[in-house]
Amino acid sequence: MSATITCPICGRRSIYEFRFGGENRGPRPFDDQATAQQWYAYVHLRTNAAGPQQEWWYHRDGCGTWFTTWRDVTLDCEVEAKEGKNE
Amino acid sequence: MNDRLPGPALRVNPEKTIHFSYRGRPMQGVAGDTVATALYASGVRIFSRSFKYHRARGLYSLDGQSSTCMMEIDGIPNIKAEITSLREGMAVRPQNVLGSPQRDLLAVAQWLDWAMPPGFYYKLFHKPWFLWPIFSKMIRRAAGLGRLNEEGHPGNFENLFLNCDVCIVGGGPAGLQAALAVAELDLRVVLLETRSHLGGFYDWRVVRSAWGQPFWARGRELENTVVQHPAIRVFKQTHLTGIFADNLLSAVQTGQPGEVFDERYMEIRAGSVVVATGSAERPLVFENNDRPGIMQCGCAHRLARTYGLLPGNRAVLSVGHDLMLEAAIDLADMGLEIAVVADARSTGQDESLVDALAQRNIPLLKGWLAAEARGKKGVKRVLLTNRMREESRLFQCDLLIASAGRAPVLDPLLMTRTRFELDRQTGFMLPVQLPSRLYAAGRMLGWDDAQAIEDSGRLAGLKAAADCGFALSDFIKPLEKSLQGRFQFRARQMMSRAPGPGHKSFICFDEDVSVADIHRVVAEGFDSVELCKRYSTAGMGPSQSGIPGQNLPLALAECRGHTLESLRPAKVRSPLRPTLLGTLAGKHYQLVKQTPLRKIQQQLGASFVRAGQWERVQYFGNDPTAREEIANVHANVGLMDVSTLGKFRIVGKDALAVLQRMYVSDLSRLIPGQLKYSAMCNEDGCLIDDGMITCRGGDDYYFTTTSARARDTMEWFGYHSRFEDWDYHIVNLTDGWGAVSLAGPAARQVLSRVVKDDVGNDFYSKGYVETQLKNGIAVRLLRVGFVADQGWEIHAPASATAAVWNALWDAGQDFGIQPFGLEAQNVLRLERGHIIIGEDTELRTTLLDLGLGFLWDRNKKGFKTVGVAALHQTENQPDRMKLIGFKMNDPSQTPPGGAIIVDTQVRGYVTSVRYSQALKQSIGLALVEAPLARDGTLLEIFIGGPDRRRLGAKVQRGPFY
């Protein structure tokens, strides 16, 4: 676990105040009907990149904002946004 | 006992006596004492008996570096007396002794050492196997340290979580300068110091420094500046226990007298970290180097200067550093008779110190060191030899100050990805490559000169500050340059012992591992540092690398004939200091929420129960089955506190879109005054929440959730709309609003008496009304049939909820109003066939499995409603569990909740079950496999225990009442 996460509203805070929302894989790719394969991929599959990834975090014990940040999972710390990746 | 030598650098106040007890006998110390110094002042010389051989051990380091000073204090075992401040009324007891430390009956163990080589218990006692339990019990009794307090863990414990720009580990001159350099830029600093005062090795030295004043005065000056600086938070008696990724540090602070906690766990999140832990004395290894009366040089010097205690009468010194020669001169000036000073270095001493010794007629033996101490319960004679042991001389003394030299304290850095190399000039293991945002400073880098030590601290501080976004290269570069020119050569002294077999020359005091043991272990093939450490257990005791860490790699290199360059320090792990379990557990907070109606209900005789974050009423009076409460709701009218319900307002242009995504129903046709029951699913289509939704007009909606779900609702709404640019606001009114439930045949009459409006049929046909009570309180009325046909929830601001309750209560007197609690609610809703989420549902029961499919509006399109895709997919799966109602065949039998339903195998289980007075029948809900879910199916419910049997039941779909 990295030690801090930077909330866009409250700034750098202890990670214990946040809830992890998973890697950012964009909005749900299907509407109300989906094939089993689509649903499975959306609910269960993850990229699990070794290195920087964009993640969702929720400031649960703070302002209650959902936001994305970049974190290098091999170093366990927040990093600068990776160029050319989704915003 | 309180006669202390006067001195300028004292940290004790001899005027103020502190009373404590040792082995049940009253003793005295003075304010500022540690337990160890107070005992030493009172004449106690044997502090403990060792782990394995029960050898007598005494005061050694004053920094708690080994288990020799561990005692049981106020019922907690394994407390290091050297670093524990003395408090009034402390009860101190020795541990690991049979009898007293003076006469320990288990001391026979030291004559049996030949039978106890490393790992002996595995080698000797495993055959025959049936004897092992007996041997194991004996060994456990003889070995081991403290006695666990079985009644619990006394003491007050706390947690502290800090953020700072720079965290500085070590409050010596380098650390203090680093702190000031950072704080001058208005960055926030946290400084951790293990001792109870700042100043490091300046603190007790009376010689003049380069700044003109004595070192101790320079130290106090720095200390005061740092303590008073508003940007620096100083934590004394705080031991770093770990450094983790991204500069997360953990530490444990011992409460000082007057503090409200005994120990507290700290976590510090720092932008940058400066490690300035300085150097420690490398123990000199010789025969019987553990006898009471043998101590480190700094220990003796601090006893005299910091605590005002002359450590002995006649001393022999065997040392290896100029600081120790300085200590010898100072101790001699304070009145200690010094028989001889042996310096393991053949050359390289500071000439002025050599002259000063000569002036005092103290003989100095260059290139000599202690080879053996004699005397059983305390040192009586010391054998000094030259380095190769060609010559030797015997000296009488009662104090042996022994130290091989100095070595850096590397523990914090060893936990990081720092790369080390042995530096030939200093003989230190120096960090040559540090991870980013981590810096080392001061004496651990090999500096000896005070000015250079302070400058290197300042430099590290500036570098750490630069990481926080300051452009400081104009300051950093000149400082780096000036430091480069100031490297002073000091004779390096890597030798730690004179040649000899070393049977009683201890490398590790904690685990009684001697040099001979290391040789034996290497001979058995465990020849790398890590293997040797594990097999010999050297360094695996409470002090980890403290004392053994210095000499184990050296002894290993010597044993294998390797060069010193091949030395690798043994790994260390968190916690670096033994930490009480109580400290890690922290304070046990029972955070609980109370509703605004708690007091009223208490007066009515409520029994409360913890339900999630809340305390709720289980039942009133003495009947846990709440029969009268239930009967009263059936016959008259009941009143219940439902303030714990989640209550939310959602407003904005896109509020409806959000609700449409979350709820499975179509809410687009919701008109003001209408109230809709609906449910939320997760992406698996499983029911997670149900509640009421209403439109207050325009884009303004009000909805309720279950009590358990209230906390997560905001998060859930935010998560599922995170990719949308929706314009809405959601407000959590759960705690700001209270609610009461009015239910029963007379509910309408009661309501008509309190509500201001004209209450015709039109009023009652609405599901949702915003109105006022006659006493002027604005309320929201929700028509809810959870527990009775005639039922309303009355929502009002928390401050007015009690007034609402009272108004209903007064109006209801003519109709026999009575309060009811959770138990009554549970039975009433069961009679009506309503589910409770989490009780009758699981994380694998979909909306359809629960028979709530009617809530799902399949025609609603384009909102990406959460869970709908899964509902489509699971809809036709044949092998799902279904929720059904059942009646017992024998009306008086009530199976326990959770009982399984069987035929030839398990087919499901009972989720809720109660005996209904109204129906004269046991009824319940159960999750069963789909083929058993048809109306009228006969079920068998298995009852375990002593009278195991099967009870018959029959499926009944739909409400019972």
B355-385: pLDDT as tens digits = 999 999 999 999 999 999 999 889 999 999 9
Say which CATH class B157-280+408-484 falls into.
alpha beta
Domain boundaries B286-403, corresponding CATH code: 3.50.50.60
Q: Is A28 helix (H, G, I), strand (E, B) or coil?
A: coil
Does residue A87 fall inside a structural domain?
A: no
Query: Are the Cβ atoms of B718 and A65 closer than 8 angstroms?
Result: yes
Q: Token digits for B209?
A: 């420094």
Does residue A46 fall inside a structural domain?
A: yes
Overall number of domains in chain A: 1
Residue in chain B nearest A21 by alpha carbon: B719
DSSP A82: P
pLDDT band at residue B1 under the 50/70/90 scheme: very low
Which residue is associated with the tokens 């070192």?
B215
Query: Are the Cβ atoms of B718 and A64 closer than 8 angstroms?
Result: yes
Strand spans (E) along B434-586: 438-440, 506-508, 513-514
Q: Where in chain B is the domain with CATH 3.30.1360.120?
A: 599-644+737-829
Whether B601 contacts B641, CB under 8 Å: yes
Question: Burial, B875: exposed, middle or buried (Cβ in 10 Å; 0-12, 13-18, 19+)?
Answer: middle
Q: How far apart are the C-alpha atoms of B842 and B828, rounded to whole Å?
A: 22
Query: Are the Cβ atoms of B267 and A14 closer than 8 angstroms?
Result: yes
Query: Are the Cβ atoms of A39 and B247 closer than 8 angstroms?
Result: no
What is the interface size between A and B, counted as CB pairs within 8 Å? Answer: 75
Q: Give the residue-averaged pLDDT of B246-261.
A: 89
Q: Token digits for B847?
A: 């909306």
What DSSP assignment string belongs to B904-937?
A: SSEEEEEEEEEEETTTTEEEEEEEEEGGG-STT-
Query: pLDDT averaged over chain B?
Result: 90
DSSP B705: E
Percent of chain B whose pLDDT exceeds 90: 67
Say which CATH class B878-961 falls into.
mainly beta
Chain A positions touching B683 (Cβ under 8 A) are 39, 42-43
Distances from the Cα of B679 to the Cαs of B310, B423, B695, B846, B959, in angstroms? 79, 70, 16, 11, 19
Bigger pLDDT: B511 vs B867: B867
Question: How far apart are the CA of A4 and the nearest CA of chain B, in angstroms?
Answer: 7
Distances from the Cα of B812 to the Cαs of B306, B793, B808, B823, B828, in angstroms? 77, 15, 6, 22, 20
Distances from the Cα of B607 to the Cαs of B214, B594, B806, in angstroms? 69, 13, 20
Do strands B294-295 and B399-402 pair parallel, antiparallel, or not at all (unpaired)? Answer: parallel
Whether B804 contacts B773, CB under 8 Å: yes
Q: Where in chain B is the domain with CATH 2.40.30.110?
A: 878-961
- Per-residue model confidence as pLDDT tens digits over B126-162: 667 777 777 777 776 666 667 777 777 778 899 999 9
Does residue A47 fall inside a structural domain?
A: yes
- Fold adopted by B646-732: Alpha-Beta Plaits (3.30.70)
pLDDT band at residue B916 under the 50/70/90 scheme: very high
Per-residue pLDDT at B387: 87
CATH number for B13-127+138-142: choose from 1.10.1020.10, 1.10.150.120, 1.10.10.520, 3.10.20.440.
3.10.20.440
Bigger pLDDT: B454 vs B541: B454
Question: How far apart are the CA of A29 and the nearest CA of chain B, in angstroms?
Answer: 10
Does residue A86 fall inside a structural domain?
A: no
Chain B positions touching A19 (Cβ under 8 A) are 715
Distances from the Cα of B955 to the Cαs of B121, B834, B854, in angstroms? 64, 15, 20
Predicted confidence (pLDDT) at residue B203 exceeds the cutoff of 50 = yes
Q: What is the pLDDT along chain A (87 residues), one digit of tens a residue?
A: 458 899 999 998 889 999 999 999 999 999 889 999 999 999 999 999 899 999 999 999 999 999 999 999 888 888 888 765 554
Domain B599-644+737-829 sits in which CATH superfamily? Probable tRNA modification gtpase trme; domain 1 (3.30.1360.120)
Predicted confidence (pLDDT) at residue B120 exceeds the cutoff of 90 = no
DSSP B896: P
Residue in chain A nearest B862 by alpha carbon: A31
Phi, psi of B912 (to 5 degrees): -140, 145
Of B364, B362, B371, the residue nearest B404 (C-alpha): B371
Query: Are the Cβ atoms of A31 and B723 closer than 8 angstroms?
Result: no
Of B919, B917, B910, B911, the residue nearest B950 (C-alpha): B910
Q: How far apart are the C-alpha atoms of B747 and B752, rounded to whole Å?
A: 9
Question: How far apart are the CA of B685 and the nearest CA of chain A, in angstroms?
Answer: 11
Q: Smallest Cβ distance to A14: which of B163, B715, B863?
A: B163
Helix (H) or strand (E) holding A30: none
Predicted confidence (pLDDT) at residue B121 exceeds the cutoff of 80 = no
Q: How far apart are the C-alpha atoms of B266 and B164, rounded to whole Å?
A: 13
How many CA atoms lie less than 13 Å away from B30 in the CB half-sphere? 19
Percent of chain B whose pLDDT exceeds 70: 96
B84-98, B377-391, B538-552, B818-832: segment of lowest average pLDDT: B538-552
Domain of A73?
A: 4-78
Q: Give the residue-averaged pLDDT of B640-645.
A: 97
- Residue A49: give its domain's CATH number: 3.30.2270.10
Per-residue pLDDT at A1: 42
Which residues numbered 699-728 in B keep a CB inside 8 Å of some CB on A?
714-715, 718-719, 722-724
Amino acid symbol at B542: P
Chain A positions touching B245 (Cβ under 8 A) are 1-3, 75-77
Q: Where in chain B is the domain with CATH 3.10.20.440?
A: 13-127+138-142
Task: Cite the DSSP H helix spans in A1-87.
Answer: 36-44
Per-residue pLDDT at B125: 65
Distances from the Cα of B831 to the Cαs of B787, B788, B852, B885, in angstroms? 8, 10, 17, 10
Query: Are the Cβ atoms of A66 and B269 closer than 8 angstroms?
Result: no
Of A83, A74, A59, the residue nearest B718 (C-alpha): A59
Of B270, B336, B269, the residue nearest B309 (C-alpha): B336
Q: Give the residue-averaged pLDDT of B563-591.
A: 81
Chain B positions touching A32 (Cβ under 8 A) are 861, 863-865, 868-869, 872
> Which region, left, alpha or beta, applies to residue B184 given φ > 0 means left and ψ of -120 to 50 means alpha?
alpha
- Please check whether residue B243 touches A, CB under 8 A: no
Residue in chain A nearest B436 by alpha carbon: A75
B26-40, B446-460, B523-537: segment of lowest average pLDDT: B523-537
Query: Are the Cβ atoms of B714 and A64 closer than 8 angstroms?
Result: yes
Q: Give the residue-averaged pLDDT of B689-718.
A: 95
Q: Which residues pair with B104 in a beta bridge?
A: B99
Of B683, B686, B691, the residue nearest B713 (C-alpha): B691
pLDDT band at residue B577 under the 50/70/90 scheme: confident
Q: What is the CA radius of gyration of chain B?
A: 38
Q: Which residues pair with B954 in a beta bridge?
A: B887, B938
Question: How far apart are the CA of B478 and the nearest CA of chain A, in angstroms?
Answer: 31
| Assembly ipTM | 0.95
Which residue, among B162, B188, B267, B269, would best test binding to A if mutated, counting the most A CBs under 10 Å from its CB? Answer: B269
Query: Are the Cβ atoms of B245 and A27 closer than 8 angstroms?
Result: no
Per-residue pLDDT at B443: 92
Does residue A44 fall inside a structural domain?
A: yes
Of B171, B193, B369, B403, the residue nearest B300 (C-alpha): B403
- Per-residue model confidence as pLDDT tens digits over B486-532: 766 565 666 678 888 888 999 988 888 999 999 999 998 888 888 88
Question: How far apart are the CA of A27 and the nearest CA of chain B, in angstroms?
Answer: 6
User: How far does Cα B275 stand from its chain's mean position?
Assistant: 22
Per-residue pLDDT at A85: 52
Q: Give the residue-averaged pLDDT of B228-245.
A: 95
Per-residue pLDDT at B689: 95
Residue in chain B nearest A62 by alpha carbon: B715
